[in-house]
Structure 1
Amino acid sequence: MPLKDVLAATLVMLVWGMNFVVIDRGLVGVPPLVFVAVRFAVVLLALPFVARPRAPLRKVLAVGVFMSLGQFGLLYTALAVGMPPGLASLVLQAQAVVTVALAALVLGERPLRVQLAGVGLGVVGLGVVAVGRGGHVPAVALVLCVLAAVSWATGNVLVRRLGVPGGLGLTVWSALVVPVPLLALACVVDGPAAVGHALTHLSLVNWLSTAYTAVLASLVGYGIWNRLLEHHPASDVAPFTLLVPPVGIATAWLADGEVPTALVVTGGVLLVAGVALVTLGPRWRRRPAAPVEVSAGGSHAVR
């Protein structure tokens, strides 16, 4: 992969990693479901300029229920009830592990042994994170974040099952299913008065956060990501997502002084290692054997 593409992929990971702190900042004074609805209403402004995925709209919306509405509705609510953004950036990556498990159950896909090892390692890591989250992180916040990862993984499996092309088109067109249902649900949960007040009293911070998440994270981020996937194998591009948790944790530490406990760090390392096995395992399996050279001393060097 050329250096410019490596830098582009790294830039996207920086944007996506910092996204969690930006969301957390923007949630101040706005019910989480309302804030998700506003974000995706802004995403929908790109609808006339982005081609619809080559699939029936009902399939696109079905994916959107889990990948857009469910994932972000649960994630924003988790952050609103006390999930630290750095920890959220880590836990959400469990979606890769859950995707493999769901694909095996729903699609009958047979994961490789290395992927099964990754799933097991990821589950152990998530358990260690749960034990070591510290008293300042409500259990309900952690559960909601895990459910957000499950919702994302379910969307991934639906993309495969329904044959819906992923990418920017899916991000934009699936947003059709987000604003109205979430605003209706927010009216039930928070009350129409609170929803109306939030929509008419959005602060500059709320709008800046929305602009970052909708424009940079969703539109620009996926635009660059899709271009990379068009020009390079997915096995070369996907591993860059492993940079998201470190960026998210570092950003939360610098911005909020969020210092993870030793158990959270241990669990995080295990979880990311599990995701790495799930993501990179197939690539290792397909990689041809490297040529072996014999050095003058008789030892073997693999290039």
Structure 2
Amino acid sequence: MINSFAAHWLDQLDRMARESDKKTYLLIDGVFLDDAPSFIRQWPVPIEPQCALFYERSNANAAVLAASPWLLPYLSEPNQIDRLLAQCDALPAVICIRSHDDTPTLLSRLKRWTIVSCGDMQFNFRFTDTRRLPAIHRTLTLKQKLNLFGEHDKWTFVNRRGQWEHLEPLDEDVSQTIAKSQWEELRIPELNDDQFAVLLNDSEPDEIVAAIWAELPEGCVTRTTSSPADIYDYAQLALKHAARAGWVATPDRMTICRWLLEQDALERLTLLQDIERRTPDQTVEDALQNLEAASYMASRYA
């Protein structure tokens, strides 16, 4: 759930690149593009397959490469670059990295983080999905941040509101100390259970909205007046109320989000504040009906 990009986002990108004394790269997540191979072929300079973060594990499979994030050099070629990047509008797919590292060095660091482990599991780590990037940055330890984001690199991404947002830089004194004394080359970075739970929870609103979207009435306020970023915020708040009321099962949480979004979400968020007062044996459906009934009676006798 991402808004259309701000009107001057490309001008702002060009300005960031010109103001930096570092090399500017774009990290473009091909999985969200309609035709990633064509996008890469049309870049103003030839792009080697090795610039795909999934290159080493693709076995030259075209589908895997098409779904890969790509590290591309930013070039001030307004006509061609602007036309290509316009394809990324409203997609969680654009990160700007300004770094002193050359392309092979930066690629090596980023590729190492495409797979992470947690306990006995290994899974794709889509840090290039800008919906997930802020939570990832908050959740990683300082040492992990150094390994992924670099000691002096500047990361900027297009957020859910369609605006450029800077990741908070690392504390220079602390990062230098860790980089000198504790730096490790991690073959497969490892997350602990708490980190994994936080990142899983961060993706829940997007997943639930995607699952229930087709069920919402065509003419409901959510569809006609709410921005994608607002819809995400509404779902996130609804899930927080559900958690406080003790509903943790996915079907119950989907029911609450569906109820919230099928009418005026802001009005129903106000009602949800009282859902925490439910009785222990009350179902989600009964609790929501009681909220509606109480609201109706209050408005009738106000």
* TM-score tier (shorter): under 0.3
Alignment TM-score, normalising by the size of structure 2:
0.27
Larger strand share, 1 or 2: 2
TM-score (norm 1): 0.27
Comparing both structures, which one devotes a greater share of its residues to helix?
1
Q: Which has the higher contact order (CA 8 A, sep 6+)?
A: 1
